[in-house]
C-alpha cells in the first residue's frame, strides 16, 4: 500500500513487527482422501473452493494427517485464526484469503500469517490483507512467488484499536450483504436443479432409463486452451483462464488480453463459438458456463471447451448437467491432484452423461432461459454490492471510513 499521510493517532507499522509468518509443507500423498487422521491438511485448491463459494473460513478438509506423522515429518500445525493465502504461481493474483477454523496444516503453495500483537485486531488484519494485491509484492512474472521477507516489509496503517473495531463492524455488514446476495444466487441454482430432477430424474439412479454415454460420443469437439504461454497485451482480444469461468457466467472483471496476431496463432487449434460450453479445469475445477453470444476470445490451458452435437445434446442441458452430483462425482474421481487440482481433456472425454430425448431437453432449456433473465438482474445487484464493498475497503485504511 502506498504510504500516505494518516489521521491523528494512526501510525504505520511493518507487518513483520506484528505477525507470525509461516509457509506450508509438502503434502504426503499417502494421506490423500484420508479422513481418520488428527490434523486437517489443506491444499491451495481447497482455498480456491472455500473462497469461491463465498466463505472466509477454511474448514472441512478432505485430507487428515496423524499426529505421529506430523512428528515424524517435523510438521507443526498453524494455529486457529491464521489467515492463509497462495504464495506461488498465478494463484497469487486471485487474491484469495481465508481464516483457519482450527489448528491445521497447509501445503507449500500457501503461506499463513497470525496476529501476535495487542495493537492489531484480527479481523482488521484480515480486511487489510483483502485490500492488498499480493502480485504487487511478489517476485517474478511467469512464475510469481511471495517470501516471508516480502510480507515482513508491507506497511499497515494502524488506527487505535477501538477505531479498528468500528471499521471491522462496517466491513462485516458489507460482507454480510455480499453473502446474502451469494445465497440468493445459490437458491436460484437449487431451483433450476430441482426442475432438472423433476424432468429427467436423478442421473445417479436414472429412473427413466435414459441412455448413458461418454461425453465424446455426443460432442463434435472437446479440447482445452493454448498450452504455450500467450503473449499478453494491455488491451485487445479477451484471453480467458479458469478464474473467468464462474457457475453459468463468464466473468470479465479480471481478464487478460492478446493482440490479433496472437489470436490468429492460437485459433489454428480452435475458434470458440456461441453454444460452446466452457469448464474450468485447473484450481477450482468443474465450474461451467455456456458461450451465449458471439464474443471473440481465446483461452489458456486452464479452460476446456466442449462443443456438443446439437442433434443429440443441447448446450444448455449439458451446462446444467454439470451441476448434478452425478457429474460432480465423476469429476472428483478424474481430477489429477498434484500441487493443484487439474482435469485434463482426456478425462473430460470419458465423462458419462445421460441423453434424454431432445424435446425434453428443450422443455428444460425454456426454464433455464427464464432463470437466466432473473440471474441477470441478480448479477446487476451483485455488481452494485461489490462496488460498494470495494469502495468501503479502499476507504477503510485511509481514515475516510472512521477518523
Q: Which residues contact 64 (CB under 8 A, 6 or more apart)?
A: 31, 34, 35, 36, 37, 38, 39, 40, 41
The CATH number linked to 29 is 3.90.220.20
The SS3 of residue 321 is helix
Domain assignment present for 6: no
- Model pLDDT for residues 20-60, shown as the tens digit of each residue: 999 999 887 787 778 788 999 998 888 887 787 667 888 88
Same domain, 154 and 217: no
Same domain, 15 and 154: yes
Same domain, 25 and 133: yes
pLDDT computed for residue 266 by the predictor: 95
- Model pLDDT for residues 289-337, shown as the tens digit of each residue: 999 888 999 999 999 999 999 999 999 999 999 999 999 999 988 886 5
Q: How many domains does the chain have?
A: 2
Backbone angles phi, psi at 175, to 5 degrees: -70, -35
The whole model's pTM is what?
Answer: 0.62
Distance set, CA 287 to CA 262, 311, 369 (Å)? 26, 24, 19
Domain assignment present for 380: no
Q: Distance between CA atoms of 165 and 351, rounded to whole angstroms? A: 50
Same domain, 219 and 123: no
pLDDT computed for residue 282 by the predictor: 84
Same domain, 307 and 217: yes
Q: Of the candidates 40, 53, 23, which has an alpha carbon nearest to the alpha carbon of residue 151?
A: 23
Average pLDDT, the chain: 87
Distance set, CA 4 to CA 10, 91, 154, 390, 399 (Å)? 11, 29, 14, 19, 10
137 burial via Cβ count (<10 Å: 0-12, 13-18, 19+): middle
Same domain, 142 and 37: yes
Domain assignment present for 52: yes
Domain assignment present for 127: yes
Which residues span the domain enclosing 148? Answer: 11-158
Amino acid at each position: 500500500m502506498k504510504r500516505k499521510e494518516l489521521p491523528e493517532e494512526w501510525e504505520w507499522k511493518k507487518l513483520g513487527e506484528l505477525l507470525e509468518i509461516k509457509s506450508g509443507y509438502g503434502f504426503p500423498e499417502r494421506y490423500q482422501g484420508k479422513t481418520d487422521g488428527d490434523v486437517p491438511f489443506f491444499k491451495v485448491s481447497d482455498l480456491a473452493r472455500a473462497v469461491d463459494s463465498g466463505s472466509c473460513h477454511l474448514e472441512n478438509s478432505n485430507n487428515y494427517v496423524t499426529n505421529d506423522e506430523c512428528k515424524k515429518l517435523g510438521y507443526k500445525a498453524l494455529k486457529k485464526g491464521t489467515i492463509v493465502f497462495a504464495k506461488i504461481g498465478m494463484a497469487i493474483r486471485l487474491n484469495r484469503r481465508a481464516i483457519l477454523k482450527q489448528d491445521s496444516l497447509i501445503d507449500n503453495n500457501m503461506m499463513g500469517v497470525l496476529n501476535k500483537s495487542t495493537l492489531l485486531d484480527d479481523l482488521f488484519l484480515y480486511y487489510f490483507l483483502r485490500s492488498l494485491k499480493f502480485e504487487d509484492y511478489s517476485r517474478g512474472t511467469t512464475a510469481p512467488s511471495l517470501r516471508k521477507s516480502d510480507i515482513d516489509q508491507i506497511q499497515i496503517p494502524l488506527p487505535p484499536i477501538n477505531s479498528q473495531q468500528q471499521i471491522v463492524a462496517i466491513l462485516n455488514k458489507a460482507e454480510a450483504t455480499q453473502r446474502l446476495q451469494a445465497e440468493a444466487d445459490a437458491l436460484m441454482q437449487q431451483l433450476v436443479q430441482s426442475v432438472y430432477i423433476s424432468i429427467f430424474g436423478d442421473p445417479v439412479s436414472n429412473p427413466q432409463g435414459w441412455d448413458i454415454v461418454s461425453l465424446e460420443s455426443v460432442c463434435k469437439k472437446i479440447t482445452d486452451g493454448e498450452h504455450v504461454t500467450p503473449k499478453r497485451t494491455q488491451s485487445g482480444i479477451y484471453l480467458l483462464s479458469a478464474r473467468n469461468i464462474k457457475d453459468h457466467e463468464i466473468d470479465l472483471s479480471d481478464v487478460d488480453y492478446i493482440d490479433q496476431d496472437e489470436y490468429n496463432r492460437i485459433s489454428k487449434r480452435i475458434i470458440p463459438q456461441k453454444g460452446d460450453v466452457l469448464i474450468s479445469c485447473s484450481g477450482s475445477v468443474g465450474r461451467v458456463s455456456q458461450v451465449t453470444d458471439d464474443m471473440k476470445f481465446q483461452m489458456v490451458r486452464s479452460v476446456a471447451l466442449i462443443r456438443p452435437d446439437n442433434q443429440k445434446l443441447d448446450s444448455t442441458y449439458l451446462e446444467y448437467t454439470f451441476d448434478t452430483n452425478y457429474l460432480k462425482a465423476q469429476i472428483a474421481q478424474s481430477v489429477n491432484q498434484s500441487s493443484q487440482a487439474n482435469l485434463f481433456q482426456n478425462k473430460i472425454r470419458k465423462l458419462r452423461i445421460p441423453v434424454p430425448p431432445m424435446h425434453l431437453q428443450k422443455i428444460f432449456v425454456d426454464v433455464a432461459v427464464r432463470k437466466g433473465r432473473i440471474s441477470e438482474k441478480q448479477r446487476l445487484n451483485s455488481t452494485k454490492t461489490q462496488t460498494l464493498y470495494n469502495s468501503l475497503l479502499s476507504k477503510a485504511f485511509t481514515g475516510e471510513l472512521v477518523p
